[in-house]
Amino acid sequence: MNRIILIGNGFDLAHGLKTSYRDFIDDYWKTFIEEARKNGSSYEDDYVSFKTNTKTLAHIISGDTNNLKLLEKDIEHFKSGIWGGNGTTIELSFKNSFLEQISKHVSDKSWVDIENEYYEFLKKSNHGQIEILNEEFKAIEQLLEKHLLKIQNGSEIVTSIFSPIRSKIYSLIFSRDLSKEDSFIYEIESDLEELDDSNIRELDGILEDCKNIYNEMKTSSIDVKQFISNYQKEADLDSESGIDYIEEKISNNTIPDYFMLPKEILFLNFNYTHTQEKYISDKQFIQTIHIHGELNNPKNPIIFGYGDELAEDYKQIENLNDNEYLKNVKSIRYLETDNYRKMLSFIESEPYQIFIMGHSCGNSDRTLLNTLFEHKNCVSIKPFFHQREDGSNNYNEIVQNISRNFTNKAAMRERVVNKTYCERLT
């Protein structure tokens, strides 16, 4: 059985990287305000213009102002003060309407999902507006990539969480987490049937390699060889006896750890960063797919847009017969590289369990997640939740989002691991 680790933005945030959309917007305004203070009575960049006909911008901006909400308060305060009369003008204007929308969303609600905001704008846009929206969205994408490069190259990663996260990534497979325990048992049986004398002689070296990766593994080659011998005796009687023997050992937790390890691990990274590389110790057993691209890599450009083809209004967008509306559809952008095909090849190869680490499972990735979650080889979906300071956690929110990615709700209830058996990420 294989394991897929879904890496989302929460994974980077847990490592102390300021990579959320709110961090991005806040950083833009902090930088803009710092530059405005230095530039007399006017300052502008490619997105915003700020100017006054009196004093300087530094006179308007308070010392602790570092975001749009505080800047707008400063402007109102200045206008109502002694300098506000006598024809004084202060103008803060946006050259990029989409930046204005997402900035005000952060000001009003303290968070924003840029990809969902884009999709909402898209649905309301006519042809002329959609071209402008796409140009503005592309500009935001480029600005975001610059921000993330700065964070990736200039931030220290929190190392204290390496050990607990690593132990989860390389943990044993627990039968209680699986919706199809029978398939796991038959898979073990198949592996046992394929063993021959040469494989068994190589077990010492194989187990040593495994122990270097899977720290929790305590099995010795003696344990494994004894299990194989006992299984073969049972299987020689009849195949059902062999199956019963495996099932018994799993149920009473006496099966050697070696048989409870994932064969391969795939890091399916939805971020543009490379934080997961801190946990890769042996590339022989591990693959990484940057499904949404990588920073500063023209061969794997970042994919930024919307990915909910299951939405009721998506069909209406397709029926407009205007390609401008489909410019930022993720499933179309996936065809620019072979990443999606590699993912499909992995999930087709054999049964797999999914570990969710920092991914909200929101609608902006719904098409891809539906493919992963409802595939016949998916036997388990295990969310690792965020524990808040007040003692609450986001397990229920993750599961609610997961449910939206299923059209088959019975399969969802079978595959999602219940909270009793789930853990916090850090």
Confidence of residue 404 (pLDDT cuts 50, 70, 90): very high
Tell me how far apart the alpha carbons of residues 263 and 265 are, in angstroms, rounded to a whole number.
7
Strand partners of residue 387: 393
Strand partners of residue 3: 265, 353
Is it the case that residue 191 has pLDDT exceeding 90?
no
- For residue range 69-85, list pLDDT tens digits in order: 999 999 999 988 877 67
Question: So what's the pLDDT on residue 253?
Answer: 86
- List alpha helices for 38-126, DSSP H: 57-60, 68-80, 97-109, 114-124
How, if at all, do strands 48-52 and 42-44 pair? antiparallel
| Mean pLDDT lowest among 4-18, 208-222, 274-288, 333-347 | 208-222
Q: What is the average per-residue pLDDT within 336-344? A: 98
The answer to whether 7 and 276 are in contact (CB under 8 A) is: yes
What string of DSSP letters covers 6-44?
Answer: EE-HHHHHHTT---SHHHHHHHHHHHHHHHHHTSTTEEE
Tell me how far apart the alpha carbons of residues 5 and 180 are, in angstroms, rounded to a whole number.
19
Question: So what's the pLDDT on residue 183?
Answer: 80
- Which residues have a Cβ under 8 Å from the Cβ of 312 and sit 6 or more positions away? none
Q: At which residue do the structure tokens 């219940």 appear? A: 418
Confidence of residue 124 (pLDDT cuts 50, 70, 90): very high
Tell me how far apart the alpha carbons of residues 15 and 386 are, in angstroms, rounded to a whole number.
13
Mean pLDDT for all residues in the chain: 93
The answer to whether 115 and 308 are in contact (CB under 8 A) is: no
Tell me how far apart the alpha carbons of residues 48 and 28 are, in angstroms, rounded to a whole number.
11
Question: So what's the pLDDT on residue 281?
Answer: 76
Confidence of residue 384 (pLDDT cuts 50, 70, 90): very high
Tell me how far apart the alpha carbons of residues 268 and 8 are, in angstroms, rounded to a whole number.
9
Is it the case that residue 248 has pLDDT exceeding 80?
yes
The answer to whether 15 and 161 are in contact (CB under 8 A) is: yes
Domain residue ranges of the chain, discontinuous segments joined by +: 2-17+157-168+262-421, 27-102, 182-259
Name the nearest CA neighbour of 411 among 359, 362, 376, 369: 376
Helix, strand, or coil here: 93?
strand
Q: What is the average per-residue pLDDT within 370-392? A: 97
Question: So what's the pLDDT on residue 222?
Answer: 87
Tell me how far apart the alpha carbons of residues 394 and 383 are, in angstroms, rounded to a whole number.
10
Question: So what's the pLDDT on residue 53?
Answer: 92
Name the nearest CA neighbour of 176 among 331, 22, 379, 345: 379
Question: So what's the pLDDT on residue 219?
Answer: 81
